[in-house]
Structure 1
Amino acid sequence: MEPDSTLTPHRNTRARIALTIGDPAGIGPELVQALLDDDALARDVQLVVVGPEDLKPEGLGFWQGPDSPDSTTHLWCPTPGSGRVTMGSAQADCGRTALAALRCGADMAQAGHVAALVTAPVCKEALHLAGEEVEGQTELLGRWAAAKQCEMVAVAGNLRVMLLSRHLSLAAALKEVRRTTIVERLRLLDSTLRAEGIPAPRLAVAGLNPHAGEGGLFGSEETEEIAPAVAEARARGISVHGPISPDRVFLEGARGQWDGILALYHDQGFIPLKLLSEGRGVTLLAGLPYRRLSPVHGTAFDIAGSGRADPTNLRIAVQMAASGGLGSHQAQEEGPSDTLEGVDCDSLSST
């Protein structure tokens, strides 16, 4: 007798997402608990929370590997360390606990045991106290995955911003504004957005100086480094425009005129993104062999343990991780305005 083709093995129809607890002295654990209590989220997502066992809610099942059942609840993957700590300060033990959870979550994602990794915030000072002197999770995850490039793409609605440099002093960041580095970042941003479901990304590069240099009147970086990099990227088949005055390009991105923007230093990109995101921004790591997202906020030691932390940001990160691509979050498909086509940097002043 032939088997009934309508009967198929039961499979997990929800997206399985690894979620690390972050620094246990920060707001990560209470945000994670809020997501575990979210019945609406549980309909679409099965969380595998990665962190110390003493933070596991009673009744939550343990992760037993990729064959763990599609239960009605989420799962917990215990890692070394303790969540019973003094709240609101950087501590070496908390750094070690956060590192253990992050490494476990990264291994799960790289092995393909989960659809994506979402990470609650860690404290860089605590990581340093634990002996891991890195800028943050980006560098750690890139190193563990042996990634050739690993860069942040911050996302808030239509606005998607990659940074040319991350946690550097402004003086050091300005030295990174070089043609070769800009071209490398544009290639990574283009390929990342394509992999995320945006088939023909429209990119823009922010200027460095007021009014994008005003044709060399306010600095030479636009004419000597940025514009040549844009020309080279175009020659490589990347649809990119710029340099565009930084006081307008991010608003254009938020309105959907650009699929991705390259910001030239950390605060140039994150100030407008956080202002426009209204607490809903997330970061995606480009260059990893798996998808990793996180909220844009930090550990918020000042309110940790008070119950006042808002889980919206982390919830959106999980939902975006479960969606499988940023392309599904595009709100509009309008192209850049005609006035931007072929415009040189000296005509891009706004005031």
Structure 2
Amino acid sequence: MAAKFVGITMGDPAGIGPEISLKALEYHHEYQQSTVIYGSYGVLKYYHDALKMKTPLARIDSVGDFKPGCINVISVVELEVGKDFKIGQVSAAAGDGAYQYIARAIDDAMKGDISVVTTAPLNKEALHKGGHNFDGHTEIFATLTGTQTYTMMLWCETMSVVHVSTHCSLREACDRATKARVLECIHLADDAMKRLGKPSPRIAVAGLNPHSGEAGIFGREEIEEITPAIEAAKQEGLCVDGPVSPDTVFLKAHKGVYDIVVAMYHDQGHIPVKMMAFDSGVNVTLGLPIIRTSVDHGTAFDIAGKGIANEESMLYALDLGKNFITQ
């Protein structure tokens, strides 16, 4: 892409998204030069004043109007704190706003106006109340970009994980662990690591069942679905190992044996990454025609509006997005 701008979508306005979006730019000036926030100007002004920030806010209509030396805001939906929604509470207005910020940023990214979309957290209940029945960011991005093959990757400095399934029941997750889907995720993991500077990434595929099924004693998914996918990937020349027992694969990745792990379901992959890097983990959607990174935490309604939210994960998300551009 020609543009080098990054667009932050400020997330659910009732959560900590507006605060961490502003803090990332106010306290780390290097990000101001090429970043715009997609959100609600009034909400950001509320936090800007409450936090006594010094960098002026600039309301712009498009990236082409970018004003250096300011925190640039494309005000997608006009919302007012206390009138349209209450901080820390689920509301349809906030859920719809969060969706509209994303939709506008995706449109600009598809046009090439921005190179990366970095998202602050949304609330799924609010999203649904606002009339947008998506499981989360990943599914919104896939739908609005027309992407059929995609997955979620969690990244931290010591480990990366992609997921065969994410937002579904554990019972359904077992059914989604098919040869075709596992092979898709192996390919997406391989491509992501290569884009991040690993020419021959070492990929581990986790088992679904305890001890990876123990030769079929604890389940046959490894024999019938997962191992055939691994063998197919090996025949293509990929460096793949597995299925590795889920209770050891993440420790091995943490110690540097593997560059990335293919996890079979949401919690299998999320728990180890969040335990090691809750404030510094990054969520990436792989397979899209655009680059999307995100903080790896939620809206934190319990601390929203208190001025104590930590922007560290947002900074890591911004940095990782730039790494995808430059590789």
Scaled by the length of structure 1, what TM-score is found? Answer: 0.84
1:1-36 Cα distance to aligned partner (Å, 9 max, x none): xxxxxxxxxxx9x95210011000111111112113
Q: How does 1:170-181 map to 2 (within 5 A)?
A: 170-181=170-181
For structure 1, the 5+ residue unaligned runs are: 1-11, 328-351
Q: 2:36 aligns with which of 48, 52, 68?
A: 48
Select between 245-254 and 60-69 the one with higher mean Cα deviation. 60-69
Q: 2:58 aligns with which of 51, 56, 61?
A: 61
Q: Secondary structure at the match of 2:285?
A: strand
User: Are 1:79 and 2:76 an aligned pair?
Assistant: yes
Q: How does 1:259-298 map to 2 (within 5 A)?
A: 259-298=259-298
Q: Secondary structure at the match of 1:294?
A: strand
- Cα contact 1:282–1:296 (8 A) shared by 2: yes
- Cα contact 2:41–2:59 (8 A) shared by 1: no
Matched with 1:135 is 135
Select between 92-101 and 192-201 the one with higher mean Cα deviation. 192-201
Quote the Cα distance in structure 2 between the aligned partners of 1:200 and 1:325. 19
Select between 60-69 and 166-175 the one with higher mean Cα deviation. 60-69
Q: 1:325 to 1:207 in 2, by over 3 A?
A: farther
Q: 1:189 to 1:326 in 2, by over 3 A?
A: farther
Matched with 2:299 is 299
Q: Secondary structure at the match of 1:67?
A: helix
Tell me how large the CA RMSD over aligned residues is.
2.1
Q: Give the letter for the 2:70 counterpart.
A: T
Q: Give the letter for the 2:222 counterpart.
A: E
Q: 1:99 to 1:69 in 2, by over 3 A?
A: closer
Q: Give the letter for the 2:133 counterpart.
A: E
Matched with 1:28 is 17
Q: 1:137 to 1:282 in 2, by over 3 A?
A: same
Select between 107-116 and 161-170 the one with higher mean Cα deviation. 107-116
Larger Rg: 1
Select between 185-194 and 240-249 the one with higher mean Cα deviation. 185-194
1:190-232 Cα distance to aligned partner (Å, 9 max, x none): 2232233322221110011222222223222222221121111
Q: What percentage of residue pairs aligned between the two structures are identical? A: 34
Deviation at 1:41?
A: 3.7
- Cα contact 1:16–1:322 (8 A) shared by 2: no
Q: 1:39 to 1:296 in 2, by over 3 A?
A: closer
User: Are 1:125 and 2:125 an aligned pair?
Assistant: yes
Q: Give the letter for the 1:217 counterpart.
A: I
Deviation at 1:145?
A: 0.6
| Paired residue total | 314
Quote the Cα distance in structure 1 between the aligned partners of 2:282 and 2:28. 22
- Cα contact 1:20–1:105 (8 A) shared by 2: yes
Matched with 1:19 is 8
- Cα contact 1:35–1:41 (8 A) shared by 2: no
Q: Secondary structure at the match of 1:216?
A: coil
Divergent runs of 4+, >4 A: none
Q: 1:326 to 1:295 in 2, by over 3 A?
A: farther
Matched with 2:157 is 157
Deviation at 1:69?
A: 4.6
Q: 1:15 to 1:87 in 2, by over 3 A?
A: same
Quote the Cα distance in structure 2 between the aligned partners of 1:63 and 1:324. 26
Deviation at 1:172?
A: 0.9
Q: Secondary structure at the match of 1:161?
A: strand
1:36-64 Cα distance to aligned partner (Å, 9 max, x none): 31144437x53201111213447322335
Deviation at 1:150?
A: 2.3
- Cα contact 2:196–2:323 (8 A) shared by 1: no
Q: 1:74 to 1:214 in 2, by over 3 A?
A: same
Select between 120-129 and 276-285 the one with higher mean Cα deviation. 276-285
Deviation at 1:300?
A: 0.8
Quote the Cα distance in structure 2 between the aligned partners of 1:162 and 1:40. 32
Q: Secondary structure at the match of 2:215?
A: helix
- Cα contact 1:320–1:326 (8 A) shared by 2: no
Scaled by the length of structure 2, what TM-score is found? Answer: 0.90
Quote the Cα distance in structure 2 between the aligned partners of 1:326 and 1:243. 33
Deviation at 1:103?
A: 0.7
1:307-341 Cα distance to aligned partner (Å, 9 max, x none): 221111112111222233697xxxxxxxxxxxxxx
Matched with 1:338 is none
Q: 1:268 to 1:314 in 2, by over 3 A?
A: same
- Cα contact 1:203–1:261 (8 A) shared by 2: yes
1:100-156 Cα distance to aligned partner (Å, 9 max, x none): 111111112222212211010001111111111111111111111111212111101
Q: Secondary structure at the match of 2:34?
A: strand
Q: Secondary structure at the match of 1:89?
A: coil
Quote the Cα distance in structure 1 between the aligned partners of 2:108 and 2:158. 30
For structure 2, the 5+ residue unaligned runs are: 49-55
